[in-house]
């Protein structure tokens, strides 16, 4: 089965945040990146792009092209804050997410029941509703094409690249659109008369490898719609737990056991809140002499239902060799995955209206 990959990229991110926070800047050419003529533009609003201004352009040059532009200093903390907010709402959709820059992320939604198109439109709406900003969404069956798609229809874009569109849809594009192909490599290709992807498709793998080194094969594959990179998450949560030291050490089994069930309840509540399922329960007991034991037990299936863990906890409590008073008790639920069905509830908030 083909994968369903979504790439999201905020529009003119720093400049849009400035326009959001300072309404008088809306609809105006805004250039972020310092007011000093020696600096470079971090980015600029789409109104400024009409004048030919772009990211990394020296400010003095931008001022020549757009003398009436509004030049402002960047406020990185504020951009980071909004970035966190956006990433947090994207993380509610799936754990298979990777943030690649302050305003950009990939999501693998292959395992969600809803279509990638539906989820993509939901993202646009949700980001707009929660932050007031627009985001461009690209959808395809791999990361390379999804990124290309998010750039297709900017700003406020929504574009899908289907398998049957490839490679025809790519042919007219400049080779500069190939993410991963650096400026130097593009120049090398230009020097032998290659400017478009259609022209590049004429060359076989060996020639590209000779020209571009190890990247040759990667580029050869990408322009044919082949990109096997996985959306590898770095943020996956492996466990949820709590542990607390007793106010007074105790060897009364009923007290220890009551405490354990109470913690299981609390941890299970956290699991539900995070919309996750767990398979394993871990009991940790520390004794008054500071020695400790950890025992764990797993279910056959993932669950978020506390009552499934209770018999396991009973067994674990019975297994421990109590060699003195208990000082600390901890309960952890481990082996976590997302609860896909629960996550689908998130989407219901928005409903079926058209997305863009």
5 or 240, CB closer to ligand TTP? 5
Please give the Cα distance from 39 to 62 (Å, whole number).
Answer: 10
Virtual torsion, Cα 11, 17, 22, 23, nearest 10 deg: 30
Size of the site for Mg ion (CB under 5 A): 4
Q: Identify which of residues 103 and 304 has a Cβ nearer to ligand TTP in the complex.
A: 103
Cα first-last separation, the chain: 28
| Contact yes or no for 299/312 (Cβ under 8 A) | yes
Q: Provide the CA 155 distance to its chain's centre, in angstroms.
A: 20
Query: For 175, phi and psi rounded to 5 degrees?
Result: -65, -20
Q: C-alpha dihedral over 254, 257, 263, 266, to 10 degrees? A: -70
What DSSP state is assigned to residue 58? B
Q: How far is the CB of 18 from ligand TTP (least distance, A)?
A: 10
**Residue 304 touches Mg ion, criterion: CB under 5 A:** no
Residue with smaller CB distance to ligand TTP, 65 or 346: 65
Instruction: Give the one residue of 5, 6, 8, 10 binding Mg ion; rule: CB under 5 A.
Output: 10
**Least CB distance to ligand TTP at residue 213 (A):** 25
Q: What is the distance between the alpha carbons of residues 260 and 253, in angstroms, rounded to a whole number?
A: 10
Residue 148 CB partners (closer than 8 Å, separation 6+): 138, 140, 161, 170, 173, 177, 179
6, 9, 227, 317: which one binds Mg ion (CB under 5 A): 9
**155 touches which of ligand TTP, Mg ion, none (CB within 5 to 8 A by kind)?**
ligand TTP
Distance, CA of 318 to chain centre: 42
CA-to-CA distance for 46 and 54, rounded, in angstroms?
9
Which of Mg ion, ligand TTP, none binds 42 (CB below 5-8 Å, type-dependent)? ligand TTP
104 in catalytic set: yes
Residue tagged active-site, from 104, 198, 315, 353: 104
Binding site for ligand TTP (CB under 6 A): 9-14, 42-43, 55-56, 102-104, 154-155
| Residue 335 binding result from Mg ion, ligand TTP, none, given CB thresholds of 5 to 8 Å by partner type | none
**Least spacing, CB of residue 73 vs Mg ion, in Å:** 19
Q: Nearest approach, Cβ of 42 to ligand TTP (angstroms)? A: 3
What's the rounded Cα separation, in Å, for the pair 306 and 301? Answer: 13
Residue 102 partner contact from Mg ion, ligand TTP, none using kind-dependent CB cut-offs of 5 to 8 Å: ligand TTP
CB-nearer residue toward ligand TTP: 9 or 227: 9
| Contacted entry of ligand TTP, Mg ion, none for residue 154, CB cut-off 5 to 8 Å set by kind | ligand TTP
Task: Identify which of residues 10 and 149 has a Cβ nearer to Mg ion in the complex.
Answer: 10
Please count the other Cβ atoms lying within 10 Å of the Cβ belonging to residue 243: 13
| Residues 32, 53 contacting (CB under 8 angstroms) | no
Exactly one of 18, 47, 103, 218 binds Mg ion (CB under 5 A); which one? 103
Using the minimum distance from each CB to Mg ion, give the nearer residue, 134 or 338: 134
Taking CB under 5 A as the rule, does residue 18 contact Mg ion?
Answer: no
Tell me if 276 sits within 8 A of 304, measured CB to CB.
yes
- Is residue 95 involved in binding Mg ion (CB under 5 A)? no
SS3 at position 56: coil
Query: Which residues are 239's β-sheet partners?
Result: 334
The footprint of Mg ion (CB under 5 A) covers 9-10, 13, 103
Q: Which residues are catalytic?
A: 104
């Amino acid at each position: 089965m083909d994968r369903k990959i979504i790439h999201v990229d905020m529009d003119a991110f720093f400049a849009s945040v400035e326009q959001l926070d300072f309404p008088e800047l809306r609809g105006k050419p805004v250039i972020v990146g310092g007011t000093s003529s020696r600096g470079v533009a971090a980015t600029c609003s789409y109104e400024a792009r009409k004048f030919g201004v772009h990211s990394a352009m020296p400010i003095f040059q931008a001022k020549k092209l757009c003398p009436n532009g509004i030049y402002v200093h960047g406020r990185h903390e504020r951009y980071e804050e909004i970035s966190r907010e956006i990433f947090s709402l994207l993380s509610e959709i799936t754990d298979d997410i990777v943030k690649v820059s302050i305003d950009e992320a990939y999501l693998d939604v292959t395992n969600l029941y809803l279509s990638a198109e539906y989820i993509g439109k939901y993202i646009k709406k949700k980001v707009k509703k929660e932050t007031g900003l627009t985001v461009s969404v690209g959808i395809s069956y791999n990361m390379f094409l999804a990124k290309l798609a998010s750039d297709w229809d900017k700003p406020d874009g929504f574009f899908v690249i289907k398998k049957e569109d490839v490679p025809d849809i790519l042919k007219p594009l400049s080779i500069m659109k190939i993410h991963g192909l650096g400026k130097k490599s593009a120049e090398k290709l230009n020097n032998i008369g290659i400017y478009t992807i259609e022209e590049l498709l004429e060359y076989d793998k060996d020639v590209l490898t000779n020209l571009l080194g190890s990247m040759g094969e990667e580029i050869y594959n990408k322009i044919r719609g082949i990109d096997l990179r996985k959306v590898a998450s770095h943020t996956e949560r492996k466990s949820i737990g709590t542990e607390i030291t007793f106010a007074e050490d105790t060897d009364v089994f009923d007290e220890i056991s009551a405490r354990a069930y109470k913690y299981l309840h609390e941890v299970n509540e956290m699991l539900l809140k995070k919309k996750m399922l767990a398979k394993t329960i871990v009991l940790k007991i520390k004794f008054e002499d500071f020695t400790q034991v950890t025992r764990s037990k797993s279910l056959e299936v993932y669950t978020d239902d506390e009552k499934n863990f209770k018999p396991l906890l009973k067994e674990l409590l019975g297994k421990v060799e109590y060699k003195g008073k208990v000082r600390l008790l901890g309960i952890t639920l481990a082996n976590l995955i997302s609860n896909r069905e629960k996550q689908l509830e998130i989407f219901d908030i928005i409903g079926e209206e058209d997305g863009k």
